[in-house]
Amino acid sequence: MPQRIDLCKTSDVDEGTAIKVETGDLVLAVFNLNGAFYTMDDLCSHGPGSLSEGPICDDVVECDFHNGSFNIKTGEVVDPPCMIPQKTYPTKVDGDTVYIEV
Ligand code: FES
C-alpha cells in the first residue's frame, strides 16, 4: 500500500521555480512548471549540488555546482557531467496540497 507524503501547498512554489522539502529520510526538490508539479531528489546524482537551487529553463533544471542538467519531468540527464538520471516521484495535487506516494 503506497504511503502518501504531503510535501507543501501549491502556493508555496511559484511557477517556474522549485523549493526544497525535507521529509523523513527524503530531501526533495519540488518544481512548479506552468502549474504542474514535479518532484525529484534534491541532491544531484553527480555530487553535492542542490537542484532546488538551480536555474530552470523550460523543463530542464541546471545544477549550479558543475552545470550539468536534468529533465525535471523524467529525471533524465540533459547535459554532462551528470551521468546518472535523477530519481523522480510521481507528484499529485489534492486541493491545495502537493504530495507524492512512496
Ligand atoms: S554536483 Fe551537480 S553537476 Fe556536479
pLDDT in tens, 13-54: 999 999 999 999 999 999 999 999 999 999 999 999 999 999
* Structural domain containing residue 49: 4-101
Other C-beta atoms lying within 10 Å of the C-beta of residue 2: 8
Q: Please measure the distance between the N-terminal and C-terminal CA atoms of the chain and give it in whole angstroms.
A: 9
Look up the CATH number of the domain holding residue 91: 2.102.10.10
C-alpha 80 – ligand 1 centre gap (Å) = 9
pLDDT given at position 44? 98
**For residue 57, pLDDT beyond 90:** yes
Task: Work out how many domains the chain is built from and give that number.
Answer: 1
Angle (CA) 82 78 8, round 5°: 85
Q: Report the alpha-carbon distance of residue 37 to residue 59 in Å, rounded.
A: 11
DSSP at 18: E
Other C-beta atoms lying within 10 Å of the C-beta of residue 82: 22
Round the average pLDDT of the chain to a whole number and report it: 97
Q: Report the alpha-carbon distance of residue 17 to residue 30 in Å, rounded.
A: 8
Instruction: Tell me the pTM.
Output: 0.96
Binding-site residues, ligand 1, Cβ < 6 A:
44, 46-49, 63, 65-66, 68, 81-82
